[in-house]
Structure 1
Amino acid sequence: MINRRRFLTGLGGAAVAAGAGGALLANPPRGGAAAATPASGPGARADTLPVSIVNETGRFSDGEVLVYILGTNIDTEEQCRVTADGEMVPVSESDNTDGGYTDYSIPLPADGSPLALPRPMSGRIYFALGDKLRLKVVTDGNGRPALQTPAGHVESDPNYGVLYDTFEFTHKDDGMFCNSSMVDQFSVPIAIDLRGAREQSTGLLVDGGRDAIFEAAAADPDLSPLIVGDRMRLIAPSHGLDQGLFPEDYYAPYIDEVWAHYEQNTISVTTNEGVFSGRVEGGRFVFDGGVTPFDKPSTRDVLFCDGALAAPNDGLNGPVAAILGAGFNRSTLLSHDQQPTTDAADFYRTDISNHYSRILHANTVDGKAYGFAFDDVAGFASYIEDPAPVSVTVTLTPF
């Protein structure tokens, strides 16, 4: 299964800080496809998937919506953009022609034609409303071209004042895997409809959901500093912590309670590989079955699902780390000694919890959202996949 932890391995997980705050995509970006021929139409290329972009913002005209398709060619590991005809083209420093930045933008086709998403590719589709994104190609530590992408949580980033959001995907021979992620920020509400072996949808907010999210955040003293501008975006607590906008010791009391509790009690974690029992011994969470012990995490580790809670794609340590990370974010580790917890009614019930994620989930129609990187544990992420995709529709829903 390709989940966001795989996305992060190919994209953000290996990204490094770049200049004023943008990240270098770990793999090739693609720049965009305009009125490309759908894969199912006459003369269509079998390696592309039609992606329709629907503008229902009610605030921006189609002419004010710019699309950027950026990511990595899975075969070559080059960072690429997608051109207007659906071709993956490696990024190059020579593309920095627009005032020192690239112009990989694709206007929405006036006739409503779908864009063409090639394969094999993993990346993001960026949507910028009312302004261009300022993207720059630089040289990474290995001497290869790499794209600096927006960091909406960094005030010095050239895209800080641009209203934008993203759709994440991996499109390859065995299917389409995609999500509407809010792990970094919440800004433009995005709904996804994926059709193929079956019809699936996710990401749709309840009526008035965007306003409700910002109102709930504004009423929370820990989250209110994360609101940028006049409800332009809500920064995730993880990035807010790094910017000094969220308490760096927020989770410390809860982490201490969990550690003390499991010095005296046993937790059971169920993964596809079996059931693993663990206790805190010598200051580390020690599990049976060959699982590597976990150091005591920090607040930052919990919010980023990284550091002491990093989850390698090894089938053993990774799933246990992910379940622990989800338990911390959903604050279920003290109330349930059998993990993962699968009843959403038990999530976020303590004062110390990922209330950013709670607010997002509370305002989606299907109750699913990607509020943190391990939100796919037990199937609560706004993530869908299909082994035989026919089309994808991404809707920018009403503000």
Structure 2
Amino acid sequence: MTPRHHRPITRRKLLTALAGAAVAGPAIAVVAPHALASVAPGGGASPKAAGALPLKIVNNTGSYANSAVYLYVVGNQDGKQVRVTPDGALAPISLSDNGSDGFTDYAIALAGSGATTLSLPYMSGRIYVALGDKLKFKAVADGNGNPALQYPAGWVKSDPSYSVLHDCAEFTYNASGMFCNTTMVDMFSVPLSIELTGAKDQTTGTLRDGGRAQAFAAVKAVPEFAPLVVDDLRIIAPGHGLDAGIFASDYFAPYIDQVWSTYAGRDLTITTNAGAFTGRVSGGRLAFKGPASVSFDKPSTRDVLFCDGKLAAPNDGTTGPVAAVLGAGFNRSTLVGSAAQPTTDPAGFYGAAVTNHYAKAIHAATEDGKAYGFAFDDVADFASYIQDTAPTGIQLTLTPLG
């Protein structure tokens, strides 16, 4: 699979924007999730996916009966906010969907026992699962007066769904195929595994036995990251922790300074599909020459954690991919140790004392070492992402919470 930092990345930027907006309240999702391709890689593939796709939900938590699991499929189709009904139909988001409590009830109940099979139409969105209680989605008017949906923000204490155990997977399904991932970019809570069948059988997101508990323990063991653990509910991503005042806003500063100092005296080479970019720090900026001239101001800790701000990645085929590799290098703390990026040996990731210990813990908990611990975790293909241009079915499994 082509590393996704070489593909369109505008949807990554969206989730970063949502993340920032959600600090003051739930995010309003106005377009598709950040990390998903809207067309097959290369852009010229003939459409192969046809019609509704069987979506199977399997509850293997071992802790919650099917009757205590609530499912939500929400997102966008042709620029409009939509949801999937229990019979597999698409319904538009409407302000009138809010009940007397001020929230919608889009929950889809699972079958009484065994697997639950639904029909997934063409759309981009998220599949949420909530355990023990329902989530509180709210229909609102967006900035243009169109109906939109406020999503739960498990990293915001004032969010009405904060106390609910929940998580989600992301997907885009269209005529070009199915593109999907389990995501921990915002938080990690419910272990989820995706199985995609079609041209070949693929699985991603599966945790090792006891992986969830191991991840919680690993994050708790690092003093700077320990406040991100919310009881046994979830681990909040450090970027959201920073915005909430429970994670240091200068945490990455020593490593950022070290990178800037290192490449004031030698070249840093970043290779993307566009070619090799060679850069040095001059005048306070990391400036690259190569297929195009691109440069970056010194980022902040927040820029690193959200892969945004000074590390923003426009969908231009040059600056964007270079920014993605830089973002991954900072989070994985590989930039000082290797002047040729991206690095591809996970044994060298997260080795520095100053690193993204949250992402490190999430990756260590998965069977294949792949996870979406930060927005550019797909650099060098280490994200829990799979795709198929001729899908025949998708299964989302809630795996044990232990």
Q: Which amino acid aligns with 1:246?
A: F
State whether structure 2 residue 119 is matched by structure 1 residue 116.
yes
Partner of 2:262: 261
User: Which shifted more, 217-226 or 387-396?
Assistant: 217-226
Q: 1:52 aligns with which of 26, 32, 56?
A: 56
How far did 1:28 drift?
Answer: 7.5
TM-aligned CA distance change 1:65 to 1:365, over 3 Å? same
Q: Percent identity?
A: 56
Instruction: Determine if contact 1:28/1:90 at 8 Å carries over to the other structure.
Output: no
User: Which shifted more, 91-100 or 110-119?
Assistant: 110-119
Structure 1, residues 149-200: CA drift from partner, whole Å, max 9, x if none? 0111110010110100001001011110000001100100001110100011
Q: Distance in 2 between matches of 1:135 and 1:16?
A: 18
TM-aligned CA distance change 1:266 to 1:6, over 3 Å? same
Instruction: Determine if contact 1:18/1:148 at 8 Å carries over to the other structure.
Output: no
How far did 1:12 drift?
Answer: 5.6
Instruction: Determine if contact 1:10/1:122 at 8 Å carries over to the other structure.
Output: no
Q: Distance in 1 between matches of 2:288 and 2:314?
A: 16
Match runs of 1:371-390 below 5 Å? 371-390=373-392
TM-aligned CA distance change 1:319 to 1:28, over 3 Å? closer
Q: Distance in 2 between matches of 1:20 and 1:389?
A: 39
Unaligned runs of 5+ in 2: 34-48
Partner of 1:175: 177
Partner of 1:285: 286
How far did 1:98 drift?
Answer: 4.7
Instruction: Determine if contact 2:52/2:119 at 8 Å carries over to the other structure.
Output: yes
**How many residues were matched structurally?**
380
Partner of 2:277: 276
Instruction: Determine if contact 1:268/1:338 at 8 Å carries over to the other structure.
Output: yes
Partner of 2:140: 138
Q: Distance in 1 between matches of 2:285 and 2:27?
A: 32
Q: Distance in 2 between matches of 1:12 and 1:170?
A: 18
Q: Which amino acid aligns with 1:140?
A: D
Relative to the length of structure 2, the TM-score reads 0.91
Q: Distance in 2 between matches of 1:384 and 1:48?
A: 19
State whether structure 2 residue 27 is matched by structure 1 residue 23.
yes
Partner of 2:394: 392
Q: Distance in 2 between matches of 1:135 and 1:397?
A: 24
Instruction: Determine if contact 2:260/2:281 at 8 Å carries over to the other structure.
Output: yes
Instruction: Determine if contact 1:311/1:317 at 8 Å carries over to the other structure.
Output: yes
Match runs of 1:140-289 below 5 Å? 140-229=142-231, 231-288=232-289, 289=291
User: Which shifted more, 82-91 or 107-116?
Assistant: 107-116
Partner of 2:36: none
Relative to the length of structure 1, the TM-score reads 0.91
How far did 1:260 drift?
Answer: 1.1
TM-aligned CA distance change 1:15 to 1:368, over 3 Å? closer
Partner of 2:68: 64
How far did 1:18 drift?
Answer: 6.3
Question: Greater relative contact order (Cα 8 A, min sep 6): structure 1 or 2?
Answer: 2
Q: 2:369 aligns with which of 354, 367, 370?
A: 367
Q: Which amino acid aligns with 1:395?
A: T
Q: Distance in 1 between matches of 2:157 and 2:73?
A: 24
User: Which shifted more, 110-119 or 374-383?
Assistant: 110-119
User: Which shifted more, 286-295 or 15-24?
Assistant: 15-24
Instruction: Determine if contact 2:153/2:161 at 8 Å carries over to the other structure.
Output: yes
Partner of 1:94: 96
Q: Which amino acid aligns with 2:331?
A: N
How far did 1:26 drift?
Answer: 1.4
Q: Distance in 2 between matches of 1:249 and 1:146?
A: 35
Structure 1, residues 214-252: CA drift from partner, whole Å, max 9, x if none? 1111211111101112x1100010100000111100000
The 3-state SS of whatever aligns with 2:380 is helix
The 3-state SS of whatever aligns with 1:378 is coil
Partner of 2:106: 104
Q: 1:352 aligns with which of 354, 370, 387?
A: 354
Instruction: Determine if contact 2:50/2:175 at 8 Å carries over to the other structure.
Output: no
How far did 1:114 drift?
Answer: 1.2
Instruction: Determine if contact 1:5/1:373 at 8 Å carries over to the other structure.
Output: no
Q: Distance in 2 between matches of 1:198 and 1:131?
A: 36
The 3-state SS of whatever aligns with 2:264 is helix
The 3-state SS of whatever aligns with 2:295 is coil
Q: Distance in 2 between matches of 1:390 and 1:346?
A: 37
Q: Distance in 2 between matches of 1:155 and 1:88?
A: 31
TM-aligned CA distance change 1:320 to 1:20, over 3 Å? closer
Partner of 1:32: none
CA root-mean-square deviation: 1.9
Q: Which amino acid aligns with 1:385?
A: Q
Match runs of 1:327-338 below 5 Å? 327-338=329-340
Instruction: Determine if contact 1:11/1:27 at 8 Å carries over to the other structure.
Output: no
The 3-state SS of whatever aligns with 2:173 is strand
The 3-state SS of whatever aligns with 2:149 is strand
Structure 1, residues 101-153: CA drift from partner, whole Å, max 9, x if none? 0001101133634111110x111010010101011111111111111101111
TM-aligned CA distance change 1:14 to 1:228, over 3 Å? closer
Partner of 1:36: none
How far did 1:15 drift?
Answer: 7.1
How far did 1:10 drift?
Answer: 5.5
Q: Distance in 2 between matches of 1:183 and 1:89?
A: 28
The 3-state SS of whatever aligns with 1:240 is helix
